[in-house]
Amino acid sequence: MKKVADLYIRVSTDEQANSGYSQRYQEEMLRKYCDINAIEIRKVIFEDHSAKNFIRPAFQKLLAEYKKHKGIVDALLFLKWDRFSRNAGDSYAMIATLNKLGIEPQAIEQPLDLAIPENKLMLAFFLAAPEVENARRALNVKSGMVRALKEGRFMGLAPYGYTNKVYETGRKYIAPKQPEADIVKWAFEMLATGCCSVLELYGIAKKRGLTCSKNNFWHLLQNPVYCGKIFVPKHGNEDSYLVQGTHEPLISEELFYTAQDVLHGRKRNPKAAIKIAIREEFPLRNFLTCPKCGRLITASRSKGRTMYYNYYHCVSSCGWRYKAEDIHDAFMDELRKYKPTFAMLTIYKAVIIEEYKRSQSDKAFSKRDLLQQINEQNSRLAKARELLLADAIDSSDYKAIKVECERKLNLLEAKIGNASTTPDEDIEALLDKALHNLAHIDERYEQSDVKGKRQIIGSIFPEKLQFENNAYRTTKVNEAVLMICILEAALKEDKIKQTDDEASLSNEVIRIGFEPMTLSLEG
C-alpha cells in the first residue's frame, strides 16, 4: 500500500527566507523526496509563525484534523527539525502525540529511525541546536537594545506625541508629532498645577483630541521620555537608571518632576481649579458613597406641587435616598467636631514652626551633601581621563568608569532638584491664616460658595463619606486636623483625671496648726 504524507512548510522571518528556507524551496525539496520514495502527498501546509512553541494556527488546525480522523496519513514530512520546532521539550511531547495517532514526523534532510535507540541522541542534538540558537539570538538582541538605550536612543514604537523616523544613514529615531505633542505638553502643565484629578484631566484632554485610553494616559504621565530621558532597565548586575536621550524633549525636567509630585500626592495647588459642574444645592455630590451598595451617590431635584425638593440618592437599584437638608445639617455637626480650641492651636503653631525650621535646615544639608557627591564623581571622571592620557589604563576601563560616573551623576542631578532650598516664606502669617480658618471652619463653610465648600470637604476628608442612620460613619480625616484633635482629646482626658484625683481626697482631714493638737474623731 502506498504511503501517504502531509508536507509541513514553515518560515518565520525574512532572514530564514534569505538563508535558503523559503517556502518555494522547501516545497520543491519535499515534493522531489516524495517522488523518489513513491509517497503520495495528501496536503501541503504552509505556516508563517515562530517555532518557539506549537501554538501556531496552521499546525493546531492540522493536529485537530489528525485527532478527528485517525489514520488519515502515515507521516508528516518537513525539511529539517528546526522547521518542526525550536523547543526541545515541546518537540518530544508533540512527537509522542503524533506517534499515538499513527503518524511519523520526519525531517528529509536529517532522517532518523527512532526505533533505533542511538538515534535518539541525534534527535536531541537536532532539537536542542535550534533552541540554543534562538536563545543566543535573543540574548544578542537584548544586549544590543540595552546598549542602544544607554546611548540615549529610544527603542520600539514611538510613545504618544512622537513618531518613528529614520535618518538617511538608516538610523532610527523619534520626533515630535503634532497636534499630539501639544496635547501631551498641555496635560503635563495642567497636572503640575494640581488643579484637578487625573480622571478629570483625561476627560478634558479627550475633548482636546487625545486618542489614547485611560490606562495609557496614566502611563503617559509617568513616562520620562517626554522630558528627554531614557529609562535603562536592570540588566545583569547593573541597576536600572535614566540617561539623557538623543530625541527632542516635549517638556522640561522641572515640569516632569513637579507633575510626578502631584501625581503621587506629594504636592497640591488648590489655588488654580477647573470648574466642576456642581449645583449650589449639592456641595456633597461625589463625596458620598451608598451605605447599601457602596456606589457613588449623586443628587437631583424633585418637583412637588408648589416647589422643588432636593435629594441625594444612589444610582443603583438599591433605593437609597435621603433629603439633602438632613444630610447638610448632619455634615455641619460632623464638621464642628474638628474645631480646635485656641490653646491647642497655639501649641500646634509652635510645633509646626519648629518642624519647618528643622526641615529647612535638613534640605540645605541634603543639597550640600548632593553637591559634594557630584563633585566627587566629576573628580573621579577627570582622574580617569588623566590616567587614560598617561596610558595607565586602557580605553575599555576608562569607558566603564565613565558610564558608571555618568549614571551616578544623572541620579544625583535628578535628586538635587527635589532637594533645592526654597526662599524663606512668612510661615507665621501662613500658619495664622490656616489655623484661623480651621478654628472657624463651620462659619467658613456656610459663607463659601459651592466651589469653596467642596475645597473644604476635600481638605478635611480625603476619602469618601458615608451617611447612615442620620449620622456620618467614622471616616479618614486629614492627618494634620486629626493630630490636633487627638492631642486636644488627650489633654482634656489628662485634665479630667487630675480633677478626679483631687476630688477623691477626704474632706474630714483636720488642719494642723503650729501647736500640737489632740485629734478627736466623732461618729
**The three-state (H, E, C) secondary structure of 393-455, written as one string:** CCHHHHHHHHHHHHHHHHHHHHHHHHHCCCCCCCHHHHHHHHHHHHHCHHHHHHHCCHHHHHH
Lowest mean pLDDT among 217-226, 247-256, 279-288, 500-509: 500-509
Same domain, 103 and 172: no
Residue 121 and residue 181 in one domain: no
CATH number of the domain within which 214 lies: 3.90.1750.20
Is the pLDDT assigned to residue 516 strictly greater than 50? no
Give the separation between CA 480 and CA 431, rounded to whole angstroms. 12
* 101 lies in some domain: yes
Q: Do the domain assignments include residue 73?
A: yes
> CATH number for the domain including 89?
3.40.50.1390
Non-local CB neighbours of 339 within 8 Å, separated by 6+ positions: 438, 439, 440, 441, 442
Indicate the DSSP class of residue 226: G
Lowest-confidence pick of 23-37, 58-72, 173-187, 387-401: 387-401
H/E run at residue 304: none
pLDDT-based confidence at residue 140 (cuts at 50, 70, 90):
confident
What mean pLDDT is reported for the chain? 79
Rounded to an integer, the average pLDDT of 173-190 is 90
Report the alpha-carbon distance of residue 338 to residue 341 in Å, rounded: 10
The residue with greater pLDDT, 248 or 370, is 248
**Are residues 204 and 245 located together in one domain of the fold?**
yes
Residue that wins the pLDDT comparison between 482 and 388: 388
Same domain, 127 and 172: no
The reply to whether 133 and 8 lie within a common domain is yes
5: left (phi over 0), alpha (psi -120 to 50) or beta: beta
How far apart are the C-alpha atoms of 399 and 392, rounded to whole Å?
14
- Higher-confidence residue of 1 and 404: namely 404
Considering the domain architecture, whether residues 114 and 13 belong to the same structural domain is answered as: yes
pLDDT of the residue at 19: 54
pLDDT at 362: 61
* 14 and 131 assigned to the same domain: yes
Taking the C-alpha atoms of residue 72 and residue 64, their distance in angstroms, rounded to an integer, is 12
Number of domains in the chain: 2
Among 101, 122, 137, where does a domain finish? 137
Residue 238 inside a domain? The answer is yes
Which residue stretches of 101-173 are H helix?
119-150
What pLDDT does residue 117 have? 78
Mean pLDDT score, 360-377: 75
| 194 and 82 inside one domain | no
Which of 216, 236, 263 corresponds to the end of one domain? 263
Is there a single domain that holds both residue 133 and residue 202? no
CB 260 within 8 A of CB 269: no
The pLDDT tens digits of the residues spanning 295-340 come to 888 888 888 788 888 888 888 888 888 888 888 888 888 888 877 7
The mean per-residue pLDDT over the stretch 351-375 comes to: 74
Q: Note the pLDDT of residue 422.
A: 47
| pLDDT at 375 > cutoff 90 | no
Is 197 among the domain residues? yes
Structural domain contains residue 177: yes
pLDDT (0 to 100) of residue 64:
92
| pTM listed for this prediction | 0.39
Summarize pLDDT for 217-258 with one digit per residue, the tens.
Answer: 888 988 888 998 888 877 777 777 788 888 888 988 888 888
pLDDT digits (tens, 9 = 90+) for 455-470: 888 888 878 888 887 7
Mean pLDDT throughout 91-97?
Answer: 88
- Per-residue model confidence (pLDDT) at position 77: 92
Flag whether pLDDT at 495 surpasses 80: no
209 and 127, same domain (yes or no): no
**Residue ranges making up the domain that contains 44:** 4-137
389-430 confidence digits (pLDDT tens): 888 888 888 888 888 888 788 777 776 665 554 444 567 777
Q: What is the pLDDT of residue 487?
A: 62
pLDDT band at 5 (very low <50, low <70, confident <90, very high): very high
34, 120: one domain:
yes
Q: Is residue 475 part of a domain?
A: no
196 and 76 part of one domain:
no
**Residues 371, 51: Cα–Cα separation, whole Å:** 54
Position 213 in a domain:
yes
Q: What pLDDT, on a 0 to 100 scale, did the predictor assign at position 361? A: 66
Domain's final residue, options 263, 284, 303: 263
In a domain? residue 127 = yes
User: How far does Cα 325 stand from its chain's mean position?
Assistant: 41
